[in-house]
Amino acid sequence: EVQLVESGGGLVHPGGSLRLSCAASGFTVSSTYMNWVRQAPGKGLEWVSIIYAAGPTYYAASVKGRFTISRDHSRNTLYLQMNSLRPEDTAIYYCASAGGSYTFFNSWGLGTLVTVSS
C-alpha cells in the first residue's frame, strides 16, 4: 500500500528557513515523479514543485529561487527546503506522487502546516 507522511512543518519568522520531509512506503520515490502542492488556509490548491525520476526539477514562479526539491533514495524520502520564507507561504504542504502521464497526482499525504509569521 502506498503511503506518504509529511513532517517538518511549524512556525517560522519571515525570512527564515524550514525543511519539509515526506517519507514514502509502498514504492520508491526515486522511480517516479514526486511533487509538492500547497494550500493556504481557506484557499485553493497551488502546485509548488516536481522532481522527475531522472532528476530534473521544476518550480512554480512564486517559489523559484527560494525553494529546493530533493530526494534521498536510501531513506525513500522527498524533501522541500524552503528559504527566505514569506507570510504568503503559509499553507498546508502536501507531497504527492504522480501517476501514468506524470501530470496528475494519484497519491497524497495528509499534509504538514507551515506558518510564516512574526
By CB under 8 A, the residues from 67 to 86 that bind another protein are none
Interface pick for another protein out of 12, 22, 24, 50 (rule CB under 8 A): 50
List phi, psi (to 5°) of 101: -75, 0
Interface pick for another protein out of 58, 75, 87, 88 (rule CB under 8 A): 58
Interface pick for another protein out of 35, 77, 90, 112 (rule CB under 8 A): 35
- Residues in the interface with another protein (CB under 8 A) total 23
Confirm if 48 and 38 have CB atoms less than 8 A apart.
Answer: yes
